[in-house]
Amino acid sequence: MSQQLEANLTETGPQTGTVARARPRLAALVCVVLTGLVLLGGAWWTLASSRFDVERIRTEAETVHKAMGGMLAMGLPVSDFIGFGAASDRVLRFDSAVRAVQIVDLTDQVVLSNPEAFDAGPVEWSDGSYLGMGGEVPGIQHHGSLSRFSLPVSGRFGPAGSIVVYYEHEIVAEFSRSTAIAGLAAMVLLALGIVVHTAVLANPEVFQSYRELATLYAVTCLIGLAIVGATIFGLGATKAIETANAYGESLGSRLGEAMALGIDPSDLVGLGDVVREYQETNDIISYVALLEGNRIEAAAGLQDQTDRWARPTGVLDAVIEVRPRRLYRPQYRVAVGIPIAVVTQILWQTGITLMLGAAALIAAGLALLARVRVPATAVARL
């Protein structure tokens, strides 16, 4: 009996000794690394979403600029832009992040503003990218969550002023999306699974082998990186579709105004130029098309253009109804597409520095695994 009891104590020694202390250390190390990956992923998405916002806001300013083309060509001052109200209302209506659209003269005095009561106050604006990370974006300045984009305009006799669009980078809203919540939940479940496995199920002999510990740690980190990458890509795709929706709604609104007057879009002079304007004023849009049913009325950027529209491959697009289907009346729609390759490029450009940070964090964890490993000699002494 005494020999059997002694054997049982010998077998349970590693469980209650050094191995017992190593279990929570490994669980804590993995949880800290996964938490770091989540934080780096959050910073990555903050930068990526701000870049999508910049591209969208630049197009909003270019749209107002195009509307000013006639009066600027005549040499009129920017304060005489009688179409400012309609152009700026369209921007404010279809872009919830925009707080105000203003036109300033060469002395930086506001001559037109929508809303009129908007005043940013005497704040200090910082140049560069959001959060001071990544490459600088010309024309963009930041103050906290509020940003502004300035687009210089020139008239017949030289520089005439600038179009300034104030917008807010809604960080809380960006992380309240269902994709972000699902990604965070997956990371929490992964961390809980590792804690349970380490604290309850892991074989004590695993803690004596650095190779087995490193394998467990590497697999966990790879799964975590895959979850973060999939979440960021899903958020980027959602953001791209929302951006395409904003452009489609804007163009659809312009056409809807003509329809409200009884003018059919096919009778509009320069319809192709308007469609081309939306495609050319933004670098991330691949095509814009006005459709009557599935027949292409006007389009710009479609590679294999026929008289019938079909969704291009490798493109995230939005299709907006300009007017609902009615009996004996054609149904018009606006289709706007953003290539998946462009979304991936934006995510890569904004996340390269943070990816290096994630690699450094994982490497530091590998170095700390040596402190978690239980030497065989220590187990033998128990």
For residue range 187-217, what is the model confidence (pLDDT) as tens digits? 999 999 888 888 777 777 778 888 888 888 8
Query: What pLDDT score does 360 carry?
Result: 93
**Dist. CA 179–CA 161, nearest whole Å:** 41
Which has more confidence, 382 or 86?
A: 86
Rg, Å, the chain Cα set = 29
Query: What pLDDT score does 5 carry?
Result: 39
Query: What is the percent of the chain with per-residue pLDDT over 90, rounded to a whole number?
Result: 12
Strand partners, 295: 292, 308
Single-letter residue type at 31: C
| Cβ contacts of 273-280, under 8 Å, gap ≥ 24 | 274/298, 275/251, 275/299, 275/300, 276/300, 277/63, 277/66, 278/59, 278/63, 278/247, 278/250, 278/251, 278/336
Using CA atoms in the order 27, 30, 36, 39, what is the torsion angle rounded to 10 degrees? -70
Query: What pLDDT score does 36 carry?
Result: 93
Does the CA dihedral 244-250-251-253 come out positive or negative?
A: positive
Three-state secondary-structure class, residue 335 = strand
Residue pLDDT, tens place only, 210-242: 888 888 889 999 999 999 999 999 999 988 888
Residue 39, pLDDT above cutoff 90: yes
Query: What pLDDT score does 382 carry?
Result: 46
Say how many C-beta atoms besides its own lie within 10 A of residue 63's C-beta. 22
As given in the structure block, the two tokens for residue 199 are 């604290």
Three-state secondary-structure class, residue 19 = helix
What DSSP element (H or E) covers 59? Answer: helix 18-67
* Max avg pLDDT among 6-20, 80-94, 135-149: 80-94
CB contact set of 62 (below 8 Å; sequence gap of 6+): 151, 281, 282
User: Which of 129-133, 208-212, 309-313 has the weakest average pLDDT?
Assistant: 129-133
Of the candidates 88, 347, 355, the residue with the CA atom closest to the CA atom of residue 240:
347
Strand partners, 335: 289, 319
Residue 31, pLDDT above cutoff 50: yes
The model's confidence at residue 154, banded by pLDDT at 50, 70 and 90, is: confident
Average pLDDT over the chain reads 79
pTM of this prediction? 0.78
Which has more confidence, 293 or 150?
A: 150
The residue to which tokens 């590998």 are assigned: 366
- Could you tell me the maximum CA-CA distance found in the chain, to the nearest angstrom? 108
Query: What pLDDT score does 38 carry?
Result: 93
